[in-house]
Amino acid sequence: MALSKKQNKRLGAILSVMFKEETPPDRIQELLDGGFVSQQNDDVLITPLGLSEKNRLCTLSGLNIKYTTEKKDI
């Protein structure tokens, strides 16, 4: 299933925060307003809600992108 334009932008912004890449300030503000990230000093961190949204959007798009801490030992 294809993501909507809004979902695509949100996933891209969450992933850029996740990988500590430069993210446009307006995208950061959208994520802050939605509760998907929190700002602590100069750091922007993904919240549990943001992690859940990332997983939901990745599942919808057929991707499997996880933090090392999210991976479970088999």
pLDDT in tens, 60-70: 988 887 776 67
Secondary-structure breakdown of the chain: helix, strand, coil percentages, each rounded to the nearest 5: 55, 10, 35
What is the rounded (10 degree) CA torsion for 7, 66, 16, 14? 40
| pLDDT surpasses 70 at 74 | no
Residue type at position 47: T
At residue 71, the pLDDT reads: 65
pLDDT in tens, 12-61: 999 999 999 999 999 999 999 999 999 999 899 999 999 999 999 988 98
